[in-house]
Amino acid sequence: MRRFQGYIALVLLIVSAGFYSGLTQAEDYYWTRQNDPNGPRYSSAIAACNAIFPYVVSGRTYVYSHYEPTNELSGNCAGYWTATPGIYNKHAVARHGDSCSSGTYNPQTGECEAPEPDQCESTIGNVVHHEFRFASLGSDGNPSADPPVTVCKSGCQYSHTFGDFSSKRDFGPPDQLVGSFEYKGNGVSCTPSANDPSVFDQPPAKDPVTKAPEYATSNDCSGWETQPDGTVKRNCTANTSYKDEGEVECKGGTAGSGFSSSVTCTPSKNKPPQKSETNVEQETTKKDNPDGSSETTTKTDTTKTECKGTKPCESSSKTETESENTDPNGNSTKNGNCVGDGCNPDKTDGSGTEGKEEGEQGEERTATVGTCDGGFSCAGDPIDCAILKQQKEQQCYAEEMSDFDGNKSEVEGLLQGENFELNEGSGDIDVPSFISQGTRFLSPSCPPDRVVSLSMAGRSVGLSFQPLCSFASALGPFLVAVTAVICALYVGRSVGGN
């Protein structure tokens, strides 16, 4: 028994020694000259070739040209004498060793190349936001879906942090909440796929986009058309729409599956999502009777859709009919009714159409105008908001135009430059010449004497204007001087003088 145990120990010792020897003999690839395997070692075939060349023999220089691999174990270093380029001599090199433990083997150079550093290493901890439709609102929406665990952006992977996030509402259809989810880089490379569902956890990352509120209105009427029975008809249509994706704050959420169903979302008080659209179709007919009476009928179909916050959209419609009969004496009678869920059943004005009773509160409106440098926000009726926004723009424009102190520097800047500089020597004005040469707008000569015939006396009398001309000539320079002083005072005060 002891002898058998001794055999077993000897076998194990031999196997262990062989295994240990195999481990100690494992060695990375290296190269030597083929005829000198125990000579200097080089990391690649190219390095061995560069060690062989260049050398000088009898005054001639032998230089290296290129490496020609024969197989993975050997190759030739080609060189030529500088005096005879293009004629190559070759020196063989050989590869030794077992493997490339530090990288990938390149057979063209015979080198173990280290792997390139991962480009995504620098993204570790970086935050990006990915836009994803995670919840449906209303029966026409797709089923709710959880955001992806990871996303791929620019070839690098980012992992979902499962924290609180902000959202907006895409009214669609389908009507959905779109979240702006936070992801952090994990330093891993990835290949995005937009078409392959098997890699849905790595869709191309979509950056969040913010849209401005949209408001639109249109209306159109056809011309009056005469019908065979003598009546005239006209059709009109009108459309008003307003849409704001708004802001929704979402909290909670369990990591993993079921994330969307465990999230609680609350619309922002300052900017809740809202949408309203009203379509109106109206038909009017008129008929004038031979006795002077007339009949007018107006039929109006109205459809209105409203969406607020995160509640599903609600639609209502109504058909209003109004008729007016006028007798030959000009007395008129009006009747009307309303059919549909959009009618107001409490209205008692005789028409039955939708309306508000006296003292009834209208739709709540919240507006934040802010300063002229700040933004504008408004919640409620879109038409009222559009009017309020335009009033703010007009008021801010008027304030800007009347801000003389704020625009003083800009006005002064307009009066700078060579066109507004005074040339030296041109600032003196010869006042006497200025007054005598540049202030006349009538003829400088005195009118000739007038001769008047007196028929009763049978004589002619001459009237001379010379005394008046002499007085006017003496008074002229005084008037010009006074005018010049007044103009100087006016100009001086306009630019800030006293």
HEC readout, the chain: CHHHHHHHHHHHHHHHHHHHHHHHHCCECEEEECCCCCCCCECCHHHHHHHHCCEEECCEEEEEEEEEEEECCEEEEEEEECCCCCCCEEEEEEEECCECCCCEEECCCCEEECCCCCHHHHHCCCEEEEEEEEEECCCCCCCCCCCCCEEEECCEEEEECCCCEEEEEECCCCCEEEEEEEEEEEEEECCCCCCCHHHCCCCECCCCCCCCCEEEEEEEECCCEECCCCCEEEEEEEEEEEEECCCEEEEECCCCCCCHHHEEEEECCCCCCEEEEEEEEEEEEEEECCCCCEEEEEEEEEEEEEEECCCCCEEEEEEEEEEEEECCCCCEEEEEEEECCCCCCCCCCCCCCCCCCCCCCCCCCEEECCCCCCCCEEECCHHHHHHHHHHHHHHHHHHHHHCCCCCHHHHHHHCCCHHHCCCCCCCCCCHHHHHHHHCCCCCCCCCCCEEEEECCCCEEEEECCHHHHHHHHHHHHHHHHHHHHHHHHHHHHHCCCC
Distance set, CA 177 to CA 205, 253, 276 (Å): 17, 15, 17
> With 0-12 CB in 10 A as exposed, 13-18 as middle and 19+ as buried, what is 419?
exposed
* Residue 440 resides in a domain: no
Sheet with 30-33, edge to edge strand ranges:
30-33, 89-96, 74-81, 60-71, 55-57
> Do 67 and 189 belong to one domain?
no
All residues at 6 or more sequence positions from 252 whose CB lies less than 8 Å from its CB, including other chains? 164, 262, 263, 264
State the pLDDT at residue 148. Answer: 87
Q: For tokens 């011309």, name the residue.
A: 223
* Residue 86 resides in a domain: yes
> Do 126 and 239 belong to one domain?
no
State the pLDDT at residue 382. Answer: 58
| Domain boundary, last residue among 156, 189, 210 | 210
* Residue 133 resides in a domain: yes
* Residue 403 resides in a domain: no
Distance set, CA 324 to CA 295, 299, 347, 483 (Å): 6, 12, 20, 73
Using an 8 Å Cβ cutoff, are 447 and 463 in contact?
no
State the pLDDT at residue 356. Answer: 40
> With 0-12 CB in 10 A as exposed, 13-18 as middle and 19+ as buried, what is 341?
exposed
Q: How long is the chain?
A: 498
> Do 200 and 138 belong to one domain?
yes
CATH of the domain at 197: 2.40.30
Domains held by the chain: number: 5
> Do 292 and 233 belong to one domain?
yes
Using an 8 Å Cβ cutoff, are 160 and 183 in contact?
yes
**CA dist., res. 415 & res. 195, Å (int):** 64
Using an 8 Å Cβ cutoff, are 203 and 194 in contact?
yes
Handedness of CA 409, 412, 418, 424 (dihedral sign): negative
* Residue 418 resides in a domain: no
> Do 22 and 98 belong to one domain?
yes
Model pTM above 0.85: no
Rg of the chain on CA atoms, in Å: 50
Pair of tokens at residue 258 = 């079921």
**CA dist., res. 29 & res. 99, Å (int):** 6
| Domain boundary, last residue among 113, 139, 156 | 113
State the pLDDT at residue 408. Answer: 62
> Do 381 and 487 belong to one domain?
no
> Do 144 and 79 belong to one domain?
no
Q: Centre a 10 Å sphere on the Cβ of residue 474 and count the other Cβ atoms it contains.
A: 9
* Residue 254 resides in a domain: no
* Residue 34 resides in a domain: yes
> Do 174 and 227 belong to one domain?
no
Q: Torsion angle of alpha carbons 323, 328, 331, 335, nearest 10°?
A: -20
Instruction: Note down the domain range covering 373.
Output: 367-398
Q: For tokens 């030794």, name the residue.
A: 96
> Do 83 and 134 belong to one domain?
no
Using an 8 Å Cβ cutoff, are 109 and 94 in contact?
no
> Do 337 and 381 belong to one domain?
no
Pair of tokens at residue 455 = 């028929």
| Domain boundary, last residue among 158, 186, 210 | 210
> Do 282 and 312 belong to one domain?
yes
Residues in the chain, pLDDT under 70: 1-26, 139-142, 194-202, 256, 346-387, 389-392, 394, 397-445, 450-463, 491-498
* Residue 447 resides in a domain: no
> Do 162 and 199 belong to one domain?
yes
